[in-house]
A and B are shown apart, each in its own frame.
Chain A
Amino acid sequence: MSIQGLCIAPTTAKALLDNSSRLTTGDPTLDKVLCGGIPTRGITELSGGSASGKTQLCLQLCLTVQLPRSLGGLAGSAIYFSTENAFPSRRLFDMIDAFRMRYAPYRSTLWDPATHPWGEKVLLSHLPDLETQEHLLLFQLPVLLAKQEVKLVVIDSITANYRSENLDAQPQAYYYADRLQGLFRLAQRLKSLSEIYGVAIVCINQVSDLMLDFDHPTTIPRPIPTPWIHPHHPVIQRLGKQPALGLGWSHCVNIRIMLWRGDPLLSTASTHASSDPPAAFQSPRILYIIFAPHLPSQAVEYIIAPTGLCGQSLQTLDRASPTMMLPIVSQ
C-alpha cells in the first residue's frame, strides 16, 4: 500500500518496534525496571531531593552511553549541562575506574585509557542563567548534535535557572504563563532533537514540598467531593514531594522517575541500634517510576555503588502494596 498525500513521512508501529533502542543504566535490576534502559526518544525526567542520587545516575549514563551497542550502550558521547552545581569531575573519574574494571572482560579496548578515553567523551557546558540556558539548548545544541556523535544530553538541572529568576518583576500569573511557554518551547525542541538524532534526553528536576493548596475545596462548589482532579499521581501524593515546575512541565516529560532517600538522621537513629558500623550504613533509597507510557508504576530499592546506582529489590506498586511500600508522609 503506498502512503501518499501526507506532509509527514508515515511509519508503522511495527517499524517503530524494530528500530527502538535503549540506553542501558549498566545495572541489570534498574534496566529491568526501565524495560531495557532510558529510551532514545523523548524526555526522561529524573527528580528527587538533594543527595538522592540524581547526579550519580546521570554520570553513570554518561559512561554507559559510550559502551558499544552490543553491551547496551549507544557508542556515542555525552553532553552534560550543569547549572547550580559545579560538575563533579572527581566522582566521574572514580566511576570511570570502576567502569574500566567492570567492562574490561567484555571488551579489552574499554580498559586502556589510550584506546578508550572515557573522560574525553563527556562534554561539559555550564548554564549560568536562564538566557544562556535557552540560547544554548535551543540554538547551539542542535548544531552540536548535527556535528558530533553525541547520544546523551543531560541537563542538571532544568529547574535551577527558572527558580532563581526574579519573581517580583511582574504579577505571578503572567510570570508563570511566560515561564510555561518557555518550558514548552524548550521541551518541543529537545523532543524534536531526540527524534531526529536518536539521542536520549535526561532532565534533572528538583522537588518541592507538596502544598495542600489543591486539597482544599475550591470556592466553586463541586458535585463530588474534593479533591476531584488532583494534579498529582497517588505516589507523589504519598511521598509529599512533587517535582518542581508545575503541571505544565509535567505534561512535557515522557517518563517521570523519582528518587527518594530516607532521612539519614532519622534512619540512623532507628536502625543503627544494631551493630552496623556507621561507616557502612546507607540511608534507604528508592527509585519510583511515576509514569511512563510503557512501564507500570514500580519501585526499586537501590544503593550507590562505585559504578553508580545499583538496584536491590523490585516491587510492583499495585493497588495493595503502595501503602506498605511507600513511606507515609508525616504532616
Chain B
Amino acid sequence: MSRPIASLNLSPRLSDRLLHMGYRCVEDLKDISTLELAQDVGISLADAQLIMQHIQPADHPIVSASQLFQKEQQRIAIPTGSKALDQIFGSMGLEPGRLYELLGVPGVGKTQLGMQLCVNVQTPQHLGGAGGQAIFIDTEGTFVAERAQQMAQSAIQRWEQTALAQLPHSGITPTPLPTVEDILEGILYLRVLDVAELDTLVKQLRTFCEVHPGYKLVVLDSIAFPIRASFLDKTQRIRLLHTLGYELHALAREHELVVVITNQMTTRFPTLSSPAAQTSGTKSVSPALGDTWSDICQYRVVFYWDGDTRYARVLKSPFLQELSAPFSIEVTGIEDSNV
C-alpha cells in the first residue's frame, strides 16, 4: 500500500513542490538519490536530505563491540611523519572517524601539523595511504601555500622511495605518483573571517562531504580565534561550542574522516575556586575556551617546548595513557626528533 506524500510531516512548501513535480507517494522517492531529488525537484540539497530523512525508516543497526573493533582496525590512519608522534594519536597516526584537538602556545607547530596532514592524507592508496583530499578551514590566515609546497615536495620524494622499494617484489608497472600541483590542488582552502561564517560553514560541511566523498581530512585552524574575537556572551558561546562540537563529531563519524581542530592556550589567573593559587598569585597556562569545550573533545593533545625540543603529550584519550613524545619540524616537514 502506498503512502501519500501529503502524510509526511513536511513543510507545505516542500510537499507542494513534490506534488507539483509529480511525486504522489513515498514509493516514488524510493529509487533516487538525495542529489537527484534536489536537482529534479529544484530544491536545495538540505531540503532534499530532510525529505529523505522523513521517508527512510530510521537506520540504526545494532553492532557488536567486536564488529566495531574489526571495522576500526581496517581504517587507514593518516601518519604525521613522526613515528613517535603517531603513537600519541593512536598507533599509526590520526584515525578516521575521530575528532582530535591540538593545543599549544604560538609557534609550537599546530598549524605545521595541520598542513602536514593535508599532504600526508594524499599518500596514494597503492602505497598504503588514504589517497584522499583535505579541507583546510583557516580562521587565522596562517596557512601559507609555500610551506605546503615544501612539504609536498619532500612527501613525493618519500613516496618515490616507497614505490621503488615495492617495485622488485610486485613486478607490476609503477602507478604514477601525484605531482606537487596535484597535492596543492587536493587541499581545499576556506578562509573564515568571523564567527558567523564559521558557524554557517561547519553546518554545511556534512552535506558537502556527502556530495564530495573524496575528502578524508578536515582541519580547522583554529576554533579559538573567531570565538575569542566575537561579541558572544557566555551562554551563546557555550551553545555555539556545543553545536560546533556536535557537527564536527557527526562529520567525522558519518563520513569516516579525520577532523582536526586546533585550539589556543590562555593564561589562567588565580580564582576563588583555587584559593591556594590565589595566595601564591601564580599564573598558569591552560587551554582556551574553558571547561565546556574540554568536555566536548575526546582526544586532546598538547604541544609544548622542553628546552629546544618540541613535545606532544596526550591530555585526554579514551585508550591512551598520558604519554609524551618528542618531535621535530624540519624544512621537509614533521619528523622524528633525534634527541
Contacts and interface: CB of A to CB of B under 8 A. Distances in A.
Contacts of B91: none
A228 B331 CA distance: 26
A181 B264 CA distance: 14
B267 A234 contact: no
Given A180-B228, A214-B283, A233 B194 contact: no
A246 B147 CA distance: 27
A147 interface: no
A195 B274 contact: no
A247 B304 CA distance: 14
Interface stretch (A13-21, A65-73, A102-110, A265-273): A13-21
B185 A229 contact: no
Given A7-B201, A172-B269, A247-B265, A188 B193 contact: yes
Interface stretch (A157-165, A219-227, A303-311): A219-227
A293 B219 CA distance: 15
Contact of A184 (B141, B188, B225, B284): B225
Interface string B265-304: 1110101001011001011110000000000000000101
Q: Considering residues A192, A195, A218, which has the most beta carbons from chain B within 10 angstroms of its beta carbon?
A: A218
Contact of B190 (A6, A20, A173): A6
Contacts of A294: 144, 146-147
Contact of B302 (A218, A229, A234): A229
A322 interface: yes
A291 B106 contact: yes
Interface string A276-300: 0000000000000011011010000
A128 interface: no
Interface bin, chain A: 35 or more
Contact of B45 (A5, A8, A253, A254): A5
B166 interface: no
A87 interface: no
Contacts of A187: 225, 229
B181 A14 contact: yes
A20 B285 contact: no
Contacts of B191: 8, 11, 195
Contacts of A184: 225, 228-229
6 contacts: A5-B208, A7-B204, A12-B189, A180-B228, A218-B284, A294-B146
Given A8-B197, A41-B141, A248-B267, 16 more contacts: A5-B207, A7-B200, A11-B190, A13-B143, A14-B187, A17-B145, A17-B146, A20-B146, A181-B228, A191-B141, A218-B277, A220-B276, A248-B228, A248-B264, A254-B142, A296-B331
Interface of B: 45, 105-108, 111-112, 115, 118, 136, 140-149, 181, 183-194, 197, 200-201, 204, 207-208, 211-212, 222, 224-226, 228-229, 264-267, 269, 271, 274, 276-277, 280, 282-285, 302, 304-305, 307-309, 322, 324, 331, 339
Pairs of residues from A and B, 5 with the lowest C-beta to C-beta distance, nearest first: A291-B107, A17-B145, A294-B144, A184-B229, A14-B184
